[in-house]
């Protein structure tokens, strides 16, 4: 049985929480007139928000599980999966900040 670092678990858990927040903020932004750019997610949102959120969280959780399982190898021969994990966390932090700024702009406009 492999033993993985607690910091990777914390990063993965943070990514899942931020992914959930991104799903909620995306739905709120769409209610305010925003447009989903990702074609797959746009298709899922047309059905209902629940399938969108479940697929988004499922894809993210699956990807995180794969990253953690292969964490001791190198992706593309050079990049450690741990680096990808932390870069994803940083990306989600930036995305949530951007979405919150969009909501703030719309709140000021209305």
Q: Would you state the pLDDT for residue 109? A: 62
Q: Would you state the pLDDT for residue 38? A: 87
Tell me the per-residue pLDDT of 79-102, one tens digit each, with 9 for 90 and over: 777 788 899 999 999 999 999 999
Strand, coil or helix: 36: coil
DSSP state of 73: S
**Six-digit token string for 23:** 């799903």
Tokens 């298709």 belong to residue: 43
Strand, coil or helix: 47: helix
Q: Model's pTM, two decimal places? A: 0.83
Q: Does the pLDDT at position 17 exceed 90?
A: yes
The separation between CA 88 and the C-alpha centre of its own chain, rounded to angstroms, equals: 8
Q: Exposed, middle or buried, 50 (CB in 10 Å: 0-12/13-18/19+)?
A: exposed
């Amino acid at each position: 049985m492999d033993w993985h670092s607690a910091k990777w678990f914390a990063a993965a858990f943070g990514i899942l929480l931020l992914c959930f927040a991104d799903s909620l903020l995306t739905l709120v932004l769409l209610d305010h007139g925003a447009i989903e750019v990702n074609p797959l997610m746009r298709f899922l949102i047309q059905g209902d928000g629940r399938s969108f959120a479940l697929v988004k969280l499922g894809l993210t959780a699956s990807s995180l599980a794969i990253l953690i399982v292969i964490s001791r190898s190198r992706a593309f021969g050079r990049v450690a999966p741990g680096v990808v994990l932390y870069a994803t966390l940083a990306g989600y932090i930036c995305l949530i900040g951007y979405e919150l700024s969009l909501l703030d702009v719309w709140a000021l406009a209305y």
